[in-house]
Amino acid sequence: IERTLVLIKPDGVARNLSGSILARIESKGYVLAELKKVNATRDLLEQHYEEHVGKPFYEPLVEFMLSGPVVAAIFEGHRVIEGFRSLAGTTDPTTAAPGTIRGDFGRDWGLAVQQNLVHGSDSADSAEREIKIWFGE
Ligand code: ATP
């Protein structure tokens, strides 16, 4: 069965939106397989965001992800990877479609990083890689 890694980023946790966000994913029909609240480390984030190392937003992104706890979850279901990305909406929360998590709960706060509430794996390979990083084998 397909799996994806979902992160509720520090903005979502700090704004007490974890329950609302998880409820939307469950209501869509995906199954929660694992769930935990974690304080990420720089080392873990460097692995998670390895494709972005060196980009201008990389350091602000890591600082943001270290600014508070995140909620990490594994959701399961047929086509859950694309299904969750569709639920999440596009990267920029200002223009993410209403009805999506980012579109309904997020906006641009004028900061160096897009505080956009959630992360979801973008392919089956990334999902397996990211699940290992956050949950181990
Ligand atoms: P995610 O991978 O987090 O689900 P995504 O695929 O839409 O979102 P990526 O391009 O993988 O976004 O970038 C990872 C994260 O880095 C984004 O979710 C956002 O928080 C931040 N980010 C991406 N591009 C920018 C940018 N141009 N300026 C500021 N922050 C950015």
ipTM of the complex: 0.89
Residues whose beta carbon lies within 6 Å of some atom of ligand 1? 57, 61, 91, 113-114, 116, 119-120, 122
119 is catalytic: yes
Q: What torsion do the CA atoms of 86, 120, 66, 73 make, to the nearest 10 degrees?
A: 110
Nearest CA to ligand 1 atom 4: 119
21-42 mean pLDDT: 98
Distance CA 6, CA 121 (A): 7
Nearest CA to ligand 1 atom 18: 91
Ligand 1 mean position, distance from CA 116 (Å): 8
Ligand 1 mean position, distance from CA 91 (Å): 6
Cα torsion angle, 10, 11, 17, 21, sign: negative
Say what the pLDDT of residue 32 is. Answer: 98
Query: 8 forms bridges with which residues in the sheet?
Result: 71, 118
Where does the pLDDT of residue 73 fall: very low under 50, low under 70, confident under 90, or very high at 90 and above? very high
Where does the pLDDT of residue 61 fall: very low under 50, low under 70, confident under 90, or very high at 90 and above? very high
Ligand 1 mean position, distance from CA 59 (Å): 12
Distance CA 1, CA 88 (A): 21
User: Right CATH number for 3-135 from 3.30.70.141, 2.40.37.10, 3.10.450.240, 3.40.50.720?
Assistant: 3.30.70.141
8-30 mean pLDDT: 98
Where does the pLDDT of residue 102 fall: very low under 50, low under 70, confident under 90, or very high at 90 and above? very high
Domain range annotation of the chain: 3-135
